A and B are shown apart, each in its own frame.
Chain A
Amino acid sequence: MKNKYKKWFPYFLLTPALLYYVLFWIRPVLRAFFESMTDYDGSFSLMFFSKVINESMFTAALRNSLLFALISVMLQFTVAFMMALLLNKKFKGSNLLLFVALIPMAVPPAAVAILWKTGFSTFGWINNLLITLNLIKEPILWMTAKGYNALLFLILIDTWTVLPSVMIILLAGLQNLNKEYEEAGLIFGASRFQIIKDIIMPILKPTIITAVILRMIAAMQVWMISVMMFGYGRVPFLVERIAYYTDMVPMLKESYKMSLTYSVVVTTIVMISVMIYLRVNKKKEKEVRI
């Protein structure tokens, strides 16, 4: 009697959360899958997948999303890790530096876009600053950037915004690390670089994986800064397409199904990327063991 009660009690506690998931999560997800795989009349059809893939913007959106995710995650991880290593050393002013480094976290994405948009306009503060510093003579026409330049531009803005959140996860990991692991490295002859590579990073791996996966998922879903900076269609991303169909052309007959199909595509790609990343990490681990 008592045992049975014990067995079921956790599920009882979970019920509200489960209900929430079923209502607001599983239902819409299933709906998206269903809508993307049916014709207007509800019969099975992959018509919308082929529509999405053949859309003129799709290739660019896919390429941009993947490139954006790959480059921004690598860049953000590297810089954030270096910053975390630096801030983890207690030195004069390290607390102040930490505070300054965390500022971008407090700025909402829309404000970030506005900040940079006004900054990068032809007579914005960035050109002003560069001219005052005598680094350039003529204002640079940032906002007319195209193709890869525009993409790189967005990567840099995104990096500025999310760096603190990546850094803080890594810093938390570093601060939990037994200092004696590092010191043992120093005593037994490892260089600074070897200590980071052979000792800190492997021990910190769970934290690193968490940070990278969170960033990968978010990067794959980038759209707002692109739209805020350049408007729809200039630098297309997969999720930007979803927003395009729901926000810009909601009246079209196909819009609803197009945006849901894009959602399914993005979800699939995110899941595959995360799986590949985890798999690669597992393999590396095995190599280390031997």
Chain B
Amino acid sequence: MEFLELKNLTKIYQKDILAIDKIDLKIKDGEFLVLLGPSGCGKTTTMRMIAGLEDVTEGEIFIEGKLVNNLQPRERGVSMIFQSYAIWPHMTVFNNIAYALKIKKMSKEKINETVKKVAKMSNIEEYLNRYPSQLSGGQQQRVAVARAMAVDPKLFLMDEPLSNLDAKLRVSMRTDLKEMHKRSGATTIFVTHDQSEAMSLADRIVIMNTGTIEQIGTPNEIYHDSKTMFVADFIGSPSTNFVDVKIISKDNKLFAKNDAFELPIDDKFNDKLHGYIDKDVVFGFRPENLVLSSDEEKLFDIDVVLVEPQGSHSVIVGRLLSKQIKIVSDEVRDMKNIKTLPIKSNGIYFIFDKETEKRIC
């Protein structure tokens, strides 16, 4: 049985703002699930409905098979790390962590023991007597984590918990959170708009777009098997290059053709592309799947605009048919005198339906 299930979940704010549009989602026990999507796509709303902080307009939320739509947040066994941390400014770190336990009427010794334990796990033992204002952002974040762990929740909810930290701290906290998840084994839903955060943390990623789910899958599935143009575009940095082509058939062989090139398509796709012959589709090339080529083997030339060195590799920004193309290469370093480059496909690409923007193959 699933640990958490969302059925047909819908949220409408103020009568006409459709924030969440009929989403279905199942989360396994102990899973680390990441909700990923651009700002305003409804991640926070989804999380708040699961927590019980926001009314559900339509649909159902089940935790361990039990309908929780009408339960108070405290009756749901969830714990949350807020984006602003929301650690109470008038309480010491100790009292922040202990508050929930005091409410549960836990004994003094037990409270002390629990607070010590979670403080140790989140590395804030020496700050227990301090007030939040006397802590750095990273330390405050750890207090929020410790407070959330202290109640030993069945479900952890984290809403962009790392977004207020500087880049370096963000990466190290990321590792810490992952470790803590491994140790506690609590089911976790983590919200972020940062794809690299999502990729490195998630067991599975849920990609959201304007209130709907685009794709659910492991980080590798999401990247290598993107189901929609939105996902192909959103995931990956630089993102996927989209090229308009027409599918044509010559002597029972399919080609993708436009003004710049004619690319033979692998025969294994023939079935799926059957209905698309002589129609326009969109090809998606990940930046690493367009590679430098010799003049004899090239598919097309790009006009080089600039090169962004990244150390281990370079991002070549070029133009093809007056559209921007980005290519990742570890061969080219210095581009001073290069105006054009011959490029070929390494055989890996997505083909999308132009209307539905869904993947054909």
Residues on A facing B (Cβ under 8 Å): 178, 180-181, 183-184, 186-190, 194, 198-199, 202-203, 205, 288-289
- Distance in angstroms from A287 CB to nearest chain B CB is 13
Residues in A neighbouring B51, C-beta threshold 8 A: 187
A188 to B144, CA, bound (A): 12
The residue of chain A having its C-beta at the shortest distance from the C-beta of B85 within the complex is A180
The residue of chain A having its C-beta at the shortest distance from the C-beta of B78 within the complex is A187
Residues on B facing A (Cβ under 8 Å): 51-53, 72-74, 78-80, 82-84, 86-90, 92, 99-100, 103-104, 147, 151
Q: Are A198 and B86 in contact (CB under 8 A)?
A: no
Contact among B53, B78, B89, B104 with A203 in the assembled complex (CB-CB below 8 Å) = B89
Q: Are A189 and B104 in contact (CB under 8 A)?
A: yes
- Distance in angstroms from B360 CB to nearest chain A CB is 44
Task: Name 5 extra pairs, CB < 8 A, besides A178-B86, A198-B99.
Answer: A183-B86, A184-B88, A186-B53, A187-B80, A188-B100
Cross-chain pairs A/B with CB under 8 angstroms, 23 sampled? A180-B83, A180-B84, A180-B86, A181-B89, A183-B86, A184-B82, A184-B86, A186-B72, A186-B74, A187-B51, A187-B53, A187-B74, A187-B78, A188-B79, A188-B99, A188-B103, A188-B147, A189-B151, A190-B103, A199-B88, A203-B88, A203-B89, A288-B90
A159 to B53, CA, bound (A): 35
Known: A188-B74, A188-B147. A180 touches B82 (CB 8 A): yes
Residues in A neighbouring B151, C-beta threshold 8 A: 188-189
Known: A194-B103, A198-B99. A189 touches B53 (CB 8 A): no
A203 to B53, CA, bound (A): 21
The residue of chain B having its C-beta at the shortest distance from the C-beta of A178 within the complex is B84
Residues in B neighbouring A184, C-beta threshold 8 A: 80, 82, 86-88
A205 to B88, CA, bound (A): 13
The residue of chain A having its C-beta at the shortest distance from the C-beta of B151 within the complex is A188
Residues in B neighbouring A288, C-beta threshold 8 A: 90
Residues in A neighbouring B73, C-beta threshold 8 A: 183, 186-187
A188 to B90, CA, bound (A): 16
- Distance in angstroms from B45 CB to nearest chain A CB is 14
Residues in A neighbouring B88, C-beta threshold 8 A: 181, 184, 199, 203
Residues in B neighbouring A190, C-beta threshold 8 A: 74, 99, 103
- Distance in angstroms from B275 CB to nearest chain A CB is 51
The residue of chain B having its C-beta at the shortest distance from the C-beta of A188 within the complex is B100
Residues in A neighbouring B52, C-beta threshold 8 A: 186
Residues in A neighbouring B82, C-beta threshold 8 A: 180, 183-184
- Distance in angstroms from A197 CB to nearest chain B CB is 12
Q: Are B103 and A187 in contact (CB under 8 A)?
A: no
Residues in B neighbouring A180, C-beta threshold 8 A: 82-84, 86
Residues in A neighbouring B147, C-beta threshold 8 A: 188
The 3 closest A-B pairs by CB, nearest first: A180-B86, A188-B100, A184-B86
Residues in B neighbouring A186, C-beta threshold 8 A: 52-53, 72-74
The residue of chain B having its C-beta at the shortest distance from the C-beta of A181 within the complex is B86
A192 to B100, CA, bound (A): 14
Residues in A neighbouring B103, C-beta threshold 8 A: 188-190, 194
The residue of chain A having its C-beta at the shortest distance from the C-beta of B51 within the complex is A187
A249 to B103, CA, bound (A): 62
Contact among A183, A188, A199, A205 with B53 in the assembled complex (CB-CB below 8 Å) = A183
A204 to B109, CA, bound (A): 31
- Distance in angstroms from B47 CB to nearest chain A CB is 11
A237 to B103, CA, bound (A): 46
Residues in B neighbouring A178, C-beta threshold 8 A: 84, 86
Residues in B neighbouring A198, C-beta threshold 8 A: 99
Residues in B neighbouring A199, C-beta threshold 8 A: 88
A198 to B100, CA, bound (A): 11
Known: A183-B53, A198-B99. A189 touches B86 (CB 8 A): no
A169 to B202, CA, bound (A): 46
| Most A C-beta atoms less than 10 A away, residue of B51, B74, B79 | B74
The residue of chain B having its C-beta at the shortest distance from the C-beta of A194 within the complex is B103
| Most B C-beta atoms less than 10 A away, residue of A183, A188, A194, A203 | A188
A49 to B87, CA, bound (A): 54
Residues in B neighbouring A289, C-beta threshold 8 A: 92
- Distance in angstroms from A118 CB to nearest chain B CB is 44
- Distance in angstroms from A187 CB to nearest chain B CB is 5
Q: Are A203 and B74 in contact (CB under 8 A)?
A: no
The residue of chain A having its C-beta at the shortest distance from the C-beta of B83 within the complex is A180
A188 to B53, CA, bound (A): 12
Q: Are A203 and B90 in contact (CB under 8 A)?
A: yes
A186 to B151, CA, bound (A): 13
| Most B C-beta atoms less than 10 A away, residue of A183, A199, A289 | A183
A112 to B151, CA, bound (A): 54
A74 to B167, CA, bound (A): 50
Residues in A neighbouring B72, C-beta threshold 8 A: 186
- Distance in angstroms from A183 CB to nearest chain B CB is 5
- Distance in angstroms from A23 CB to nearest chain B CB is 42
